[in-house]
Amino acid sequence: MRLPNYGIGTYKLEDVTTLRNVINAVLPLGVRLFDTAQWYCNEHLISEVLSTELPKHGLTREDVVIVSKVHPRNHGYEKARASTLESISHFKYIDMMLVHWPGMHGSAGVDMRAVRTGTWRALEELMQSGQLRGIGVSNYTVSHLEELMEYTTSGPPSVLQSEFHPRCQQAEVRGFCDKHNVQFMGYTPLGRQDLFNKPLVREVGDKYGITPSQVLLKWGLQKGAVTIPRSSKPDRNVENATSWTDGVSLKQEDMDLLDQLNDDHHYCWNPDLL
């Protein structure tokens, strides 16, 4: 399956009131993609909020797309299968289940290829049963992806999720995605707001009369990435979603300006260190 090109992340959105306010702010704007993970400990809360709020907008479970991820501590066939079944129980089915991280804590002396193979096999089986609509990976490098291609029985992953913003442009993994028809999904698109004060970002924003966050989100969307900003504030979510709905596109010359910020900087985990 293919994901919508815009959604919201839910990391650290850990209470029902915040989730309800955020979800009610974005549903009227057409946002239908919600990204979560076992690690976030909020799958059950998202399910609870969607079950009460979707009908108020004339929507059902089938109208939204849920992405979740297998916690690194749940690597390996048995743990991956059991934990994914628990995740599925909250949503009836999951649209896209990702392997969150190619490594795990305490992996010294462990055959991680065998562990990753078992995790992937569990997801393949659950996809074949119809409980997962698609499967993919997160934070995999090209070497991890090439390894996966040696043992997958269902073809390439449907999605690769990775950190993506003008300072971290992921040329190698995006090249792999293009070659194998893998949908690229970018997290931390706002660079933890550090990018807001970059002169180039402000210069482009002033040119179009838009905010720094909207500049950065447009950049990611125009690069073809599924883009998932996260905020606990409803008004900020509306501002972010406007970058997707307002029909304004950055000119190529401004995209090129923003590209100059690339220095392979990771604000989050760096899987290249594995």
**70-96 tens-digit pLDDT:** 999 999 999 999 999 999 999 999 999
* Percent of residues, the chain, with pLDDT higher than 70: 100
Q: What is the reported pLDDT for 273?
A: 75
Characterize 81-92 residue by residue with b for buried, 16 or more Cβ atoms within 10 angstroms of its Cβ, and e for exposed. Answer: bebbeebbebbe
Q: pLDDT > 90: what percent of the chain?
A: 96
| Domains of the chain, start order | 8-193+224-236 (3.20.20.100)
Mean pLDDT for the stretch of residues 163-176? 98
Cα 188 to Cα 170: distance, rounded to the nearest angstrom: 13
Strand, coil or helix: 70: strand
Residue 105, judged by CB atoms within 10 A of its CB (0-12, 13-18, 19+), counts as exposed
Residues marked active site are found at 40
Cα 53 from Cα 121, distance rounded (Å): 35
Give 239: exposed, middle or buried? Use CB within 10 Å, 0-12, 13-18, 19+: middle
> What tens digit of pLDDT does each residue of 122-146 get?
999 999 999 999 999 999 999 999 9
Please tell me the pTM assigned to this model.
0.97
Give the per-residue pLDDT at 269.
86
